[in-house]
């Protein structure tokens, strides 16, 4: 038993010493409306528009997203997506690529996305896509 306790303690210390923190800063909300959906046999596209409130100490009130949803491994109630984002704040424009995974949770779809933005930021976001209310809401953060 003594050796088991020592092994478990060593495993815990080793795991903790090699783990790294994911530093998320500048948290913000992003709320969108679904503008259109194009259904396909192997994939579907969803277009959204809305706002990102508090991104980089400002509000982007004109944000447009296009998602391309697929399920390449034909898994039950989950798959992957890619997409594009375009946003404007006054004279500032942002563009970015979107990539992540989706999974069905009841009537909602959860999206987990890691986005590459042309201002040098990487954004990690978790959101809920609700086709019944035609909304997409994200809690997002810049990854440092």
Is 36 a domain residue?
yes
- Whether the CB-CB separation of 44 and 69 falls below 8 Å is answered with yes
pLDDT score recorded for residue 5: 52
The structure tokens listed for 43 are 């994939």
- The Cβ-side half-sphere exposure at 73, using a 13 Å CA radius, reads 9
**Does the residue 8 lie in any domain?**
no
Instruction: Assign 26 a pLDDT band (cuts: 50, 70, 90).
Output: confident
Residue 9 included in any domain: no
User: Residue 139 is part of which domain span?
Assistant: 22-143
CATH of the domain at 131: 2.40.160
The answer to whether residue 105 is domain-embedded is: yes
pLDDT digits (tens, 9 = 90+) for 66-101: 999 999 999 999 999 999 999 999 898 999 999 999
Q: pLDDT at position 112, please? A: 98
Examine residue 10 and state whether it is found in any structural domain, yes or no: no
Per the structure, the count of domains in the chain is 1
| Whether the predicted pLDDT of 11 surpasses 50 | no
């Amino acid at each position: 038993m003594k050796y088991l306790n020592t092994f478990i303690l060593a495993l815990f210390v080793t795991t903790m010493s090699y783990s790294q923190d994911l530093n998320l800063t500048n948290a913000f909300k992003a709320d969108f409306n679904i503008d259109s959906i194009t259904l396909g046999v192997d994939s579907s596209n969803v277009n959204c528009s809305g706002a990102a409130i508090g991104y980089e100490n400002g509000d982007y009130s004109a944000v447009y997203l296009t998602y391309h949803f697929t399920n390449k491994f034909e898994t039950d109630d989950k798959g992957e997506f890619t997409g594009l984002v375009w946003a404007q704040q006054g004279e500032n424009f942002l563009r970015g690529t979107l990539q992540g995974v989706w999974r069905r949770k009841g009537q909602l779809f959860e999206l987990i996305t890691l986005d590459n933005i042309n201002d040098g930021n990487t954004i990690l976001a978790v959101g809920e896509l609700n086709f019944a209310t035609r909304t997409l809401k994200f809690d997002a953060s810049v990854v440092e």
